[in-house]
Amino acid sequence: MRGCAGLPTQKRSEENPLERNPITGHEVAAGTAIEDRSFAIIDALIGTHGHTAEQWPIVRRLIHTSGDPEINPLIQFHPKAVRAGIQALQSGCTILADVKMVQVGLSPRRLAAYGNRVVNYLSDPKVRALAKQEETTLSVQAMRSAWRDGVLDGAIVGVGNAPTALLELIQLMRNEQVRPALIIGMPVGFVSAAESKEALKLGSPVPWMMIEGTKGGSPLVVAAIHALIGLAVEG
């Protein structure tokens, strides 16, 4: 198992029966046991699933986070999504969060593996001023600000709340040729959420992963990124 700069590699031995990565694993045996039991239950409930070996740890984490096995068939991947996410993280990419909840939900301990920073523009006073002036949502202006600051190219973009952020990103890719490394499209809701994901699936020039329909949410974006970090670290 590969280690990261400044962090010891955890060895598999009789002294370390949990065989957990020091970054992504639980710190106590009780937490590991509960998680492992949960994953075993999910494996049994889902059975044959059709996801690849790289995709399944992400899908399983999303089911675990949501408590909803019925989202399994709604979780969709671009064929290059997982590999693109792993490579971007390992290169130290920026993670752009559509809302603060995604930003604060990401574990600093896990982000430290490759020095990934997380940014969010919703609290920027200029974003609020432009949203009022141009009569758009804050999320639209936040995405435009990220583009103007040069944040989008090569970034992982996580959208868990705002369909308008995802739709604006699609427009920026089309009109301004911005190219994130990976888009995690999981906005939740009943107004434009499903439509924004369908637009991503049909029109994105870069890899993506999503939860189709109205389901989604910031915790699921966080779960997906944490799962990707785990895959990246474990090599």
Residues involved in catalysis: 64
* Residue 225: count of CB within 10 angstroms of its CB: 28
225 near 95, Cβ under 8 Å?
yes
Q: How far is CA 80 from CA 72, 75, 84, 85, 105, in A?
A: 19, 15, 6, 9, 25
Measured CA to CA, the distance from residue 169 to residue 188 in angstroms comes to: 16
**8-state DSSP, 7:** B
Q: Is 224 exposed, middle or buried (0-12, 13-18, 19+ CB in 10 A)?
A: buried
Q: Where are the alpha helices (DSSP H) in the chain?
A: 29-46, 56-66, 81-90, 100-105, 108-111, 125-134, 138-148, 163-175, 193-203, 218-234
How many contiguous H segments (helices) and E segments (strands) does the chain have?
10, 6
